[in-house]
Each structure stands twice: as structure tokens, then as C-alpha cells.
Amino acid sequence: MTKPSRMSGVAALLALSVAPLAGCWGGGEAKPTDTSEKPAAQKDSGSGGPDYAKGGSTYVKDSYEYYGLGDKYTPEQKKGRDTWIMWTGGNQDFFRLGSVKAGQLGVPVEYFRLLDSRGRPDRFKRLGLINEPNFRMATEPDKATGLWLDQWGGDSTYPDTKVYGEPTGIVGLRKFPNPKFDAAKWDLAAYQKNPASTEPPFYVGMACAFCHMAFNPLNPPDDPENPKWENLAANLGNQFLKEGAVFFGDGKVVFGGENGGRGLGNEDVLFHMGETQQRGTSETSRLSYDFINNRTRSTPCSCWSRGRRSRTRRSRPSRARRSPRSSTRRRSASTTS
């Protein structure tokens, strides 16, 4: 993969991205397990893994029923709430298209590294993502796909998963079973290297709540990594979200397969752009801090690759080539002073 194609791929990806846009289970208050039947969508989700809904007395179910006004919402208000928190408007297809197009340019973009359940215990700390209540960390990869996906306890008060998709364990990210998925052709390692090459088992979509839902300041969670629905507020915006790091840093959505699967490293300028993006910013505010990473201004840094930096230097206009207008102005300013 050549560097120019990589950068043009990233530019295309950024254009796409602005367009739509374990521990505490069973703490002190363990309630008896709710063994009532799981919703149909949970049964056929294919996510496999252990069945926590029948997992014994340590399982504390936290129903979506408790969100906001609970049963006091009118049906219209409920629809509005669910649209904001769970509806993707079909953008899972758009994101898949983005993965395919970027993959064709040699830029791997995929979401299962971000969803990897082994990251659940410190997801909020690392990325500002809000863990969805009524989930727990997987203890093993799904047998059919090899994916580590958070395990849902099921919820009979949940809106129709056929419309809203299934929850992923991260508030605002929804997964939809992919009808084009063919288990015989599935190869997780090949997919992560080039997501364009294989149809994944799920498409991942994003609801507004991904960036807009965080803790209720009047009722914050005891443990930020394990909030309950009653600890969440959808109207303030998630000021903790590290969007840049989600994509180019530890979230490993883009280039997640590099460095043996560890994602971009310290030597990559994109990593630094992601890591220094202010929490809670997106779109135009994303790059406002260009004095930090502006490669023609910042102090040479051994952590960035020499090749890329020296190319930037060569393209910087020299003093002699600056426009005559600015040098005239400077000269006249010095004669008048």
C-alpha cells in the first residue's frame, strides 16, 4: 500500500464520517435472576456465548423501562426517545459502504475491534464511550464468528430490534444481522485486514445517542463503566467522548489491523491527531487545535516518521517564493516605523 493512496483514503473516509452525522455485575444488591423468555431478536442474534439471562443469582437485570419517565411517556414521546437513542435511520448500510470504499483504497475501516468485549471494563476511561446497561463482558469469543461481543441480558421492554437493530453493549451503536453473511466464507483475520474482502456477520449502525448520551449529572453512576439506565441522560451530549481516539487511536476503527492488530502507533501523525482531538468534539471542531499537530509549525518530533515529515517540509513555500504583496507590505511597514 502506498502512502498517497493511504492519505487519500483517509480524506475520503473523513468526508464520509461527517456526512451522517467487569466487573460490578452482581454487587451488593443482587436480585433474583429474571429467567423470563428473551425477545425473539436475542434468540436469533447468533452472538452465541454464555446465556447470562439464566446465569444465576449474580445477574442484575437493568431494564430499559427505567429510562427517563419510564411508563409515563406517551406513545409519541416514546417513539421520539427511541429514535434519538436507538434509531440508525439505516446508516449501517452507509457505514458498510464506507468500509468497502475505504478498503478498496487500502484503508481498513471496521467496527468489531471497537466493540471487542475485552475492552468493556475500561471503555469509558479510554474512549469516553458509554457502556450499555444490562450487558456484560463476554468470557469467550463467539464460536461461529470468533468475534468478542458484549453479552446482552435481553429486555422485554426494548423497542423492536428489527427496526432499531440489536444493542452492541455500547450506547448508540446498533448491530444488524447481515443477510449476505456466509459462514463458510468468513475469515475474521482476513476481514480485519481488508473489510472490503468479506461480508461480516453484522452491519454496525450509529444512533444520535452515540455522541449525545452520557451520565445524568443529577444521578451519576457509582461506577462509570457500569451505568444503569437511570444514570443516563440523553439530552446533554456526551462531553467525554474521545471521537478522534475512537477512530484513529485506541478504538482502532481505522487502521486497526496495523502493528499486529494494535492499531496506529506513536509514530503516526494520524494517531496524534486522533489522540489530541478534544473530548466531546466532532465535525468542524475536530481540527480546531491545529497548532498542536500542524506539521509545518510544531517542533520536529522523532516520534513522527521522518519520511512524511520531510515531504511536508519540501512542500512548504520558501521565503523567496512568498507573494510580492506581503513582502512589499513588510517593507513599507519597516520604512514608516
CA–CA separation, 159 and 87 (whole Å): 10
Task: Tell me, rounded to whole angstroms, the distance of Cα 141 from its chain centroid.
Answer: 20
Residue closer to ligand HEC (CB basis): 217 or 317:
217
CA–CA separation, 198 and 3 (whole Å): 24
Kindly state the smallest distance separating residue 114's Cβ from ligand HEC, in Å: 13
Residue closer to ligand HEC (CB basis): 216 or 281:
281
Kindly state the smallest distance separating residue 280's Cβ from ligand HEC, in Å: 6
Angle among Cα 112, 253, 201 to the nearest 5 degrees reads 25
Rule CB under 6 A: say whether 282 interacts with ligand HEC. yes
Rule CB under 6 A: say whether 83 interacts with ligand HEC. no
With cell 422485554, the residue in question is: 156
Stretch of 1-9, 97-105, 249-257, 277-285 lying at the interface with ligand HEC (CB under 6 A)? 277-285
Question: Which contacts (CB < 8 Å, 24+ apart) does range 68-73 have?
Answer: 68/234
Quick check: 95 and 204 in contact, CB under 8 A?
yes
E strand or H helix at 152: strand 151-152
Residue closer to ligand HEC (CB basis): 197 or 282:
282
Stretch of 138-146, 159-167, 268-276, 281-289 lying at the interface with ligand HEC (CB under 6 A)? 281-289
Residue closer to ligand HEC (CB basis): 60 or 206:
206
Residue closer to ligand HEC (CB basis): 236 or 303:
236
Residue closer to ligand HEC (CB basis): 154 or 244:
244
Kindly state the smallest distance separating residue 146's Cβ from ligand HEC, in Å: 28
Q: Show contacts with ligand HEC in window 158-217 (CB under 6 A).
A: 206, 208, 210-212
Query: What are residue 135's DSSP bridge partners?
Result: 152
Nearest residue to 288 via CA among 297, 277, 280 = 277
Residue closer to ligand HEC (CB basis): 127 or 137:
127
With cell 443477510, the residue in question is: 179
Kindly state the smallest distance separating residue 235's Cβ from ligand HEC, in Å: 9
- Cβ-based neighbour number of residue 97 at 10 Å: 13
Kindly state the smallest distance separating residue 281's Cβ from ligand HEC, in Å: 5
Kindly state the smallest distance separating residue 77's Cβ from ligand HEC, in Å: 16
For residue 295, CA distances in Å to 131, 253, 254, 273, 298 come to 36, 24, 21, 11, 6
Q: Show contacts with ligand HEC in window 92-131 (CB under 6 A).
A: none
Kindly state the smallest distance separating residue 111's Cβ from ligand HEC, in Å: 13
Kindly state the smallest distance separating residue 80's Cβ from ligand HEC, in Å: 11
Stretch of 35-43, 64-72, 278-286, 304-312 lying at the interface with ligand HEC (CB under 6 A)? 278-286
Backbone angle region of 106, left / alpha / beta, with phi > 0 → left and psi within -120 to 50 → alpha: left
The only residue of 117, 168, 281, 293 in contact with ligand HEC, by rule CB under 6 A: 281
CA–CA separation, 39 and 153 (whole Å): 10
With cell 454487587, the residue in question is: 27
Rg of the chain taking only CA atoms, in angstroms: 23
Residue closer to ligand HEC (CB basis): 14 or 188:
14
Q: Which residues bind ligand HEC (CB under 6 A)?
A: 21, 206, 208, 210-212, 237, 243, 280-282, 285
